[in-house]
Chains A and B, each alone.
Chain A
Amino acid sequence: NAGVTQTPKFQVLKTGQSMTLQCAQDMNHEYMSWYRQDPGMGLRLIHYSVGAGITDQGEVPNGYNVSRSTTEDFPLRLLSAAPSQTSVYFCASSYSGGGAKDTQYFGPGTRLTVL
């Protein structure tokens, strides 16, 4: 199993550009989520999905879109990049996402810089 994979590992964008961060998992997990991590601020939930075709907003959804057409893939789209979106982005998945003990598995992250 590859676990959770993310591409690209690094990206530099100019203000106003759009791009898609890719995330895939091969563990047949229903629940997937996107977080951003800024220095000293821990992980903040952007969007999450509880299964194919179902997504919802997290704490900081503005400026980002998601879709979930398959169980395996959960891409994150930046519509018009802004310097405030400079961050490290982590994708995570878990078996069900709700209820009791349900470990989240994280991808290696994408380090995004917006100039």
Chain B
Amino acid sequence: GQSLEQPSEVTAVEGAIVQINCTYQTSGFYGLSWYQQHDGGAPTFLSYNALDGLEETGRFSSFLSRSDSYGYLLLQELQMKDSASYFCAVRDLNTGGFKTIFGAGTRLFVKA
């Protein structure tokens, strides 16, 4: 089966850099996505890695290594508003990408 593992919680200080890891077990997938969800809100798309390497979008970067079955989301210059849950997700290759599997999420606490 498919599974994604993330740390349940991460705490960091405002202005710092934090890395949220995602390790996965899957027989095949199209790419690794990251979503952000604030308390009481809906998930919103942050970043996507189709190929190995680093993708940068403003303060957020995401990395993928298929050989290591590993990816991470990097948040720089942390702000209080970054306190949220972050989910990694893959689209299952075996179903043509129509089934998305999400990790359980990492709760990020940003302290002043």
User: Measuring CB to CB, which residues of chain A are less than 8 angstroms from any residue of chain B?
Assistant: 31, 33, 35, 40-45, 48, 50, 56, 58-59, 90, 97-109
Interface of A is mostly: loop
**A100: which of B31, B44, B89, B99 is its contact (CB, 8 Å)?**
B31
Contact (A99, B45) CB under 8 Å given A40-B104, A42-B102: no
0/1 per residue, B18-54, Cβ < 8 Å to A?
0000000000001101010000011111001010000
User: Measuring CB to CB, which residues of chain B are less than 8 angstroms from any residue of chain A?
Assistant: 8, 30-31, 33, 35, 41-45, 48, 50, 87, 89, 91, 96-105
Measured in the bound complex, the distance between the Cα atoms of B50 and A99 in whole Å is 10
Q: Sorted from nearest, which 9 A-B pairs have the closest CB atoms?
A: A98-B97, A106-B42, A42-B104, A42-B102, A43-B102, A103-B45, A98-B96, A101-B48, A106-B43
Contact (A97, B98) CB under 8 Å given A40-B8, A109-B42: yes
With both chains docked as a complex, state the minimum distance between the C-beta of B109 and any C-beta of chain A, in angstroms: 15
Check A50 against B30 for contact (C-beta < 8 Å): no
Check A100 against B30 for contact (C-beta < 8 Å): yes
